[in-house]
């Protein structure tokens, strides 16, 4: 039944390969626990006591609550699927509660440092310099995810409307506008890219120095290299630039719903975490401007 469930996630829910692998590992871990502790049971007839025992074992192994909650979410999806299929009559996860977690505020680069990076950094006058600048500008100016950037095709760019069509999580498409300044960076990169590929056509916009499709670690290295020069924040990853995009928009007065749509979030809950950062800015403005502050 596990394979049927995984196919359901792939073909009907259209989850990514990475997400499906996570579900598979979670189910496999619980299955192994049941086999070792109560061999008379299996994954399909497990009760809530067995599942709770597995969760306790994860806590005792000092696995982070956030990771455990993700595993619980995987199990809930699986047993709800079995319930709909008529394989089980009762959901054993209905009595399982998620663990309390401390929600960390997303780190972001402050506006001054971001401007210094993009306006004052000296990029090499070659393909790699043009590509590195585009990677930074694209992540910060559009807020797209790492995988979305890697999979972005040249055909997804519309220079007439200055928009980018992005294929996000669960194959959901969204359209993001881009600025005149980003358009110039894209076109400068395309000139260098055309020299490099010498007729070899790769559909992906961002490519390696040999014209091959880009890969996650290369983007990580590019982002870390340049953020190291201009910021002291602990985390220096592509996702930090996505956080920076959202935070700066909200600091400038953008509506939360608009930022949600630009980021491709399915609900406001995921976007609201950025309001905590913009709230600090509002408090600062209040302290400076209000006569009774």
From the list 71, 133, 145, 260, the catalytic residue is: 145
Residue by residue, DSSP assigns 140-194 as HHH---HHHHHT-BGGGEETTTTEEEEE-GGG-EEEEE--HHHHHHHHHHHHHHH
Which candidate in 80, 169, 174, 235 is catalytic? 169
Catalytic residue among 24, 76, 265, 281: 265
CA-based radius of gyration for the chain: 23
Q: Can you tell me the distance from the alpha carbon of 20 to that of 23, in angstroms, rounded to the nearest whole number?
A: 5
Kindly report the number of other CB atoms within 10 A of residue 124's CB atom. Answer: 11
Q: What's the CA gap between 289 and 25, in Å, rounded? A: 54
- SS3 (DSSP) at 293: coil
Annotation says 18 is catalytic:
no
Annotated catalytic residue 265: yes
Q: Which of 131, 193, 242, 243 is catalytic?
A: 242
| 165 assigned to active site | no
Cα separation, 133 vs 123, whole angstroms: 7
In whole angstroms, give the CA distance from residue 98 to residue 293. 40
For 137, 175, 229, the CA distances from 178, given in Å and listed in that order, are 10, 10, 26
Could you confirm whether 160 is annotated as catalytic? no
* 102: annotated active-site residue: no
Please give the Cα distance from 95 to 164 (Å, whole number).
Answer: 44
Residues catalogued as catalytic: 145, 169, 239, 242, 265, 274
């Amino acid at each position: 039944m596990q394979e049927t469930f995984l196919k359901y996630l792939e073909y009907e829910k259209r989850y990514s390969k990475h997400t499906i692998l996570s579900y598979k590992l979670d189910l496999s871990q619980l299955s192994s626990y049941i086999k070792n502790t109560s061999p008379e049971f299996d994954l399909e007839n497990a009760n809530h006591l067995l599942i709770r025992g597995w969760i306790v074992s994860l806590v005792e192994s000092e696995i982070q609550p956030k990771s455990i909650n993700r595993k619980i979410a995987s199990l809930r999806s699986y047993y709800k699927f079995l319930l709909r299929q008529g394989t089980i009559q009762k959901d054993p996860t209905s009595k399982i509660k998620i663990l309390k977690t401390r929600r960390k505020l997303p780190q972001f680069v402050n506006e001054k440092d971001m401007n210094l990076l993009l306006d004052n950094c000296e990029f090499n006058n070659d393909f790699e310099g043009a590509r590195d600048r585009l990677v930074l500008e694209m992540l910060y100016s559009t807020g797209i995810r790492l995988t979305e950037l890697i999979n972005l095709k040249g055909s997804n760019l519309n220079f007439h409307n200055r928009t980018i069509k992005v294929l996000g999580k669960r194959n959901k498409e969204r359209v993001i506008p881009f600025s005149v300044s980003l358009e110039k960076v894209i076109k400068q990169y395309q000139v260098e890219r055309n020299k490099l590929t010498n007729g070899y056509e790769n559909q992906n916009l961002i490519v390696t120095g040999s014209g091959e499709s880009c890969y996650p670690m290369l983007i990580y290295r590019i982002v870390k290299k340049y953020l190291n020069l201009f910021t002291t924040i602990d985390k220096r990853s592509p996702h930090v630039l996505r956080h920076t995009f959202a935070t700066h928009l909200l600091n400038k007065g953008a509506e939360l719903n608009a930022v949600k749509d630009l980021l491709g979030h399915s609900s406001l809950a995921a976007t609201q975490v950025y309001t905590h950062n913009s709230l600090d800015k509002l408090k600062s403005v209040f302290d400076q401007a209000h006569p009774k502050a």
